[in-house]
Structure 1
Amino acid sequence: MYEKVINASYDPIFIADKDGYGIKMNEAYTRVTGITEDQLIGRHLKDVVKDGIISESVSLKVLKEKKQVTIIQHVNGKELLVTGNPIFDDKGNVSHIVTNLRNISALKSLEAELSRTKELANKYLQEIKIYQKKEDMISHEGVIANSRQMLNVINLVQKITPFNSTVLLLGESGVGKEVIANLIQKWSTRSNKPFIKVNCAAIPKELIESELFGYEKGAFTGADSRGRPGLFEQAHTGTIFLDEIGEMPLQLQGKLLRVLQEFEVTRIGGRRTIKIDVRVISATNKDLESLVKRGEFREDLYYRLNIIPIKIPPLRKRQEDIPLLANYFLDQANQKYHLNKQLTDDALLAMKAYAWPGNVREMQNLIERLVITTEADDITASHLPFSNQTAFVPQPIQKKMKEVLQDIEREMILKAISEYKTTRKAAEVLGISQSALVKKMQRLGI
């Protein structure tokens, strides 16, 4: 019964007799210290200390002082808090010494981990304060940016807004060209003037000329009997945004060029020219230079539009913005549907690894869908449609192999911590010791 009780103890127990020989130790003692029975049992503790198995014997101190003694003992590189308790016989002599151990190395690791956590918390609080101060810089009319690439775009927009030069916005579908156009208008001297948006791909080819330039009464069958001003006239003193300019029919490009050169329009069926004061912003996801070479876009119109080109990078090339955008769209969806969904760390990591072929628009639509369809409040990586089949887009090598391996380690550790909550369980799953995991987390800044 005594044997079962001793082995059932989670804490290490060691028993020595009155002569200083080891007579009993439980399984927990070996688990914590790494010392086996043949190293202690039946051996005098002076010899054990002499052989360097333990740094000092608390049992010998108890035999000498005949009272409870606590010391710090070093065993196999571990720092242990060791307490020896004497057992007295009927005559008041010490008959046995029972020793209990506590691994204070683990306690120190926890203390260090807590200290690092506090430091990180303070660091994040300071960063939050900085972001709050820079809120006007990283959030402009829906432009959420913290990456160097997008901040460069915003800085360029700031430089050009006081002037009325023609701007060409370039970038893949969904990168936010219209959002940048809104920003240019908002910061310009024409901010309180008309802002007309035209999607050249959405207007039927047979109607686009009348939509842009207007028509006089009776100009064609079905025309308004009073005639109608075109979109360029409606934008007078303000700005016109020609989205998807690459879809402009070739036969109309010459007339558009004349408008941009002379800043005057002639309505369909009309003879008089109408002077206009308009700033032109155009946008396309096509390679206009290639269209020019194929004869599908006028070269002179291209150069007229390309006075100030602004290239908006795809989302996959500005990964720093992905968590900001994801949480921004999440907040919007939560407010819209009166919910309180959250994105977990592993979900954000999966989003950063994804190529986002549809860019910001794809992310916005995905997050709204997840907010609606996910039953739990936490949206995890498993809820993402691409979590197991992240799209791959070949990219030039931008990181050294060491940095890539660190990114993989960081992702695995964050996922394990998120799922198993403690460093001990996470370390078991990752196949490393808890102390090794803590060191890696410290090195990776987790």
Structure 2
Amino acid sequence: MEPISHEVLNSEGTITRKLSQEKIERLLQMNKILDSIIDSSFDGIYVADSQGYGIKVNEAYSRITGVRAKQLLGKNMHEVVSEGIVSESVTLKVLKERQSITIVQHINEKEFLVTGNPIFNSEGEISHVVTNVRDLSELNRLKVELRETKRYTNKILQEISEFKNKEGVKLLLDGIVAQSKEIIEVTAVIKKVCEVDSTVLLLGETGVGKEVFANMIHMNSNRKDKPYIKVNCGAIPAQLLESELFGYEKGAFTGADRNGKAGLFEKAEGGTIFLDEIGEIPLELQVKLLRVLQEFEVIRIGGAHPKKVDVRVISATNRNLKKMVAVGEFREDLYYRLNIVPIRIPALRERIADIAPLAYYFLNKMNEKYKLEKRFHSEVIYMMERYKWPGNIREMENLIERIAVTTEGNEINSNDFPKGVFESALDEIIHSKGQMEQGLKQKVNDLEKRLIEEKMSEFKTTRKAAKALKISQSALVKKMKKFNLS
């Protein structure tokens, strides 16, 4: 994902608060990912701070050694050794000798191979010690495991280093790739509604990511450990939708299950139900849905007694429900029940700042998926930012996958895209050329500056960026000074 610049705000106080909030979000996300890396390890991992106090123990460590986390966390390793929990401490040795150390340690009358590695901060001081533990019972695999221990520990250090250096990258809720003011404002609202159970209506064109934002709301709510049921109201035939949503009693109709069937609202008990394409729900079912939203109860087909349900409702549509109400296609009372917290997801053409980060994100995704090494020619991003994207993010992802797997060579240029895709972008560029007589030099400078910004964002160093632009490194540095680029 492309580095993300902070939005320019009107108030110095607002800037400070925003920067602080973003730093906190990045640190929390970084800690969450690093915890996942450590906890998913098959090897035992123990992390201590610069004073030798235990701050992290994964489950594998307890499984391998028999030592519980509470015996180590918050304790200094001097104390742990004195209590006889371990025979000696590789953490203390690493802190003393300031280098990686491997020892054979005795814990609960068993032998373990223990490797400790120091992590140094920017000032050259040890900030943490990461210890890797393996059982020595498999002696025939000892050589392989020694190499694997070093490889895995280096991987952890590399991950820590990479996350520390991700300056400017906004990892918003659940990894949404965005840097535009428009999406940052949307996520700010979503963060608030995650904390409550209010009904949410997501509005926006097809392909803008309404389902992604619905997932975010559920996964960051207090219902995240409960069921999350997705329903595409436009994909289920009208005659089946009622039984799917509300269920039916045994013998309710010919062909019904003899035991009856619980509807999706019942199956979502305690969790969230996402009603996508809510504008397609038939009028005759809208009154039953209204009952759920008003009374929080459902009546199965063929049933007489209502059943209480505890469900949060998130709905989404690409249609104008207000106009549908005006022409009698949608119930007004249901519209107001669904529209408690409306959130409009802007179209991709309305948030041009997100196009480059999304394009690189999807290309990297395809490279990883198909073991490719594709890259964009600078003109491609330039054209993408001038294309209207009628299918929004979904269109972009599908198009990039198509281009990535069908083009020859590693560099993707505008000629690789299907004919007609960038016609509107070309029209805009041709129109711009008609104005160049009075501002040719400025336009050339603007384009040159943009190409340099894109390549520096992609390659990070002047050497690599200069190579991609096919100019010398010194020429690139001069141009960056000319355009006041850091």
TM superposition score normalised by structure 2: 0.57
2:477 maps to 1:443: no
Deviation at 1:231, TM superposition (A): 0.4
Q: Is the 8 A contact 2:172 2:187 kept in 1?
A: no
Q: Following the alignment from structure 2 to structure 1, what is the Cα–Cα distance between the partners of residues 287 and 443?
A: 52
- The correspondence for 1:323, drawn from 351, 356, 367, is 356
2:397 maps to 1:364: yes
Which string of whole-angstrom CA distances, capped at 9 and with x for unpartnered residues, describes residues 195-248 of structure 1?
Answer: 000000000011000000000111111111111000000001000000000111
Deviation at 1:380, TM superposition (A): 1.4
Distance 1:407 1:367, change over 3 A: farther
Matches within 5 A, 1:122-133: 132=166
Distance 1:406 1:180, change over 3 A: farther
Which string of whole-angstrom CA distances, capped at 9 and with x for unpartnered residues, describes residues 258-289 of structure 1?
Answer: 11000000000011111000000000001111
Counterpart for residue 446 of structure 2: 410
Distance 1:418 1:292, change over 3 A: farther
Q: Following the alignment from structure 2 to structure 1, what is the Cα–Cα distance between the partners of residues 417 and 440?
A: 23
Q: Following the alignment from structure 1 to structure 2, what is the Cα–Cα distance between the partners of residues 191 and 203?
A: 26
Q: Is the 8 A contact 2:449 2:483 kept in 1?
A: no
- The correspondence for 1:269, drawn from 293, 298, 302, is 302
Q: Following the alignment from structure 1 to structure 2, what is the Cα–Cα distance between the partners of residues 301 and 404?
A: 56
Q: In the alignment, residue 278 of structure 1 is paired with which amino acid?
A: V
Structure 1 residue matching 2:423: 3-state secondary structure: coil
TM superposition score normalised by structure 1: 0.62
Counterpart for residue 214 of structure 1: 247
Q: Is the 8 A contact 1:356 1:363 kept in 2?
A: yes
Q: Following the alignment from structure 1 to structure 2, what is the Cα–Cα distance between the partners of residues 355 and 157?
A: 26
Structure 2 residue matching 1:300: 3-state secondary structure: helix
Counterpart for residue 390 of structure 1: 424
Which string of whole-angstrom CA distances, capped at 9 and with x for unpartnered residues, describes residues 113-168 of structure 1?
Answer: xxxxxxxxxxxxxxx98982565x43433521111100111111111111000000
Greater C-alpha radius of gyration = 1
2:380 maps to 1:347: yes
Distance 1:440 1:145, change over 3 A: closer
Distance 1:130 1:219, change over 3 A: same
Which string of whole-angstrom CA distances, capped at 9 and with x for unpartnered residues, describes residues 385-439 of structure 1?
Answer: 3565136999xxxxxx99999667533776799997248xxxxxxxxxx99xx77
Structure 2 residue matching 1:132: 3-state secondary structure: coil
Please give the root-mean-square deviation of Cα atoms over the aligned residues, in Å. Answer: 3.3
Q: In the alignment, residue 388 of structure 2 is paired with which amino acid?
A: A
Distance 1:387 1:178, change over 3 A: closer
Q: Following the alignment from structure 2 to structure 1, what is the Cα–Cα distance between the partners of residues 280 and 375?
A: 40
Task: Name stretches of at least 5 consecutive residues in structure 1 with no aligned partner.
Answer: 1-127, 395-400, 424-433
2:470 maps to 1:421: yes
Q: In the alignment, residue 239 of structure 1 is paired with which amino acid?
A: T
Q: Is the 8 A contact 1:170 1:284 kept in 2?
A: yes
Q: Following the alignment from structure 1 to structure 2, what is the Cα–Cα distance between the partners of residues 224 and 287?
A: 37
Q: Is the 8 A contact 1:381 1:387 kept in 2?
A: no
Q: Following the alignment from structure 1 to structure 2, what is the Cα–Cα distance between the partners of residues 393 and 360?
A: 22
Q: Following the alignment from structure 2 to structure 1, what is the Cα–Cα distance between the partners of residues 201 and 186?
A: 13
